[in-house]
Amino acid sequence: MITIATLVGCAIGDALGNPFEMKLANYQPLIDWDGKFKAGGTFWVGEAGQYTDDTLMSIALGASLVEHQGYNAEDAAAKYLAWMESGNTRGIGGTTAAALTRLKFGASITDSGLIVNGDGTPVGGNGTAMRASPLGLVYRNDLMKLMEAAVQDASITHNSLEPKMGSVAVSLATALLANRVSTPQSVVWDVSDVISDSIVRSKLERVQWWLSQGTDPMSIAAEALENIGSAGYVPETVGAAFFCLGATDNFRDAVVMAVKAGGDTDTTAAIVGAMAGTYYGLEGIPQEYKDEVEHGDILQELTEHLLEVEV
């Protein structure tokens, strides 16, 4: 038996990626990086091992799921707003901040989420997918409810198709990995077979193509990730995360590959870390990561409480 470590994994990936957020893959310090925690950051400067808004929103959602023994949209929204108002936001995304500000000034949870950007294009940020893994643990035995909750939760901040599908993809993968129905190498096929037609799904199908080339995925990782993309656009972030998970066979290689891809490094690696921590477990995470990540014991305790929720 493994000890599922979803939130510890999420936090580790998040903390590893933060110092390199929005750097390109050819950034020399990233090329030279040794895969260890370091201080720094682009939108929030943290100490080595500290996580960002990705993990903080996952914690808020996880706490709500435990408190209500299932998904309660009003409470989840309230916890997101309380987090923003605490000031400890650690790089909150613009779309998330705008939506939560709308909540603060009276918008309902069905009206708070942004649908389009200022230029009229659909909202496409990854602030939904990054926080979705706790839903996969709670609803791992009821995938219909899982998908409903993922869509509802995403709509609080990002009320458009791609962010909703990003949330569904990550929570569904977490559930399948937790139940050992899927492996890191097969989960992209299992998820893309289920989610609705979308750019997220198209990216997952592109990941399948890259993983099916009959060669060592590690040897083509740079080319594949450049093709898939690793920016903050949710189809790219989710696609890159699934590639990194499927191209590797252990926790460390998966999260390091996600960071080395460049782009939205903390979010890509947080998603990879959540999925890899779910499958490889606490036992599969390098000891130095477990020793140095912020609040690891608390995160593991929350993960175990999520697994105990009966829905």
Spatial distance between the Cα atoms of 252 and 276, rounded to a whole number of angstroms: 9
Q: Residue 274: which of 18, 56, 58 has the closest Cα?
A: 58
pLDDT of residue 215: 85
Q: Residue 279: which of 167, 184, 154 has the closest Cα?
A: 184
Radius of gyration of the chain (CA): 17
pLDDT of residue 158: 98
Spatial distance between the Cα atoms of 276 and 228, rounded to a whole number of angstroms: 20
Domains contained in the chain, CATH given: 6-308 (1.10.4080.10)
Phi/psi region, residue 250 (left: phi>0; alpha: psi -120 to 50; beta: rest), is beta
Phi first, then psi: give them for residue 133, nearest 5 degrees. -60, -35
Cα-Cα-Cα-Cα dihedral sign, residues 18, 301, 158, 207: positive
Both tokens of residue 8? 């510890």
pLDDT of residue 218: 87
> pTM for the complete prediction?
0.98
Both tokens of residue 31? 């090329």
28-44 burial code (b ≥16 CB/10 A, e <16): eebeebebebbeebeeb
Q: Residue 310: which of 65, 38, 120 has the closest Cα?
A: 65
237-279: pLDDT as tens digits: 999 999 999 999 999 999 999 999 999 999 999 999 999 999 9
Spatial distance between the Cα atoms of 285 and 276, rounded to a whole number of angstroms: 9
Residues of the chain with pLDDT under 50: none
pLDDT of residue 77: 98
Beta-carbon contacts of residue 122 (< 8 Å; ≥ 6 apart): 115, 116, 160, 161, 162
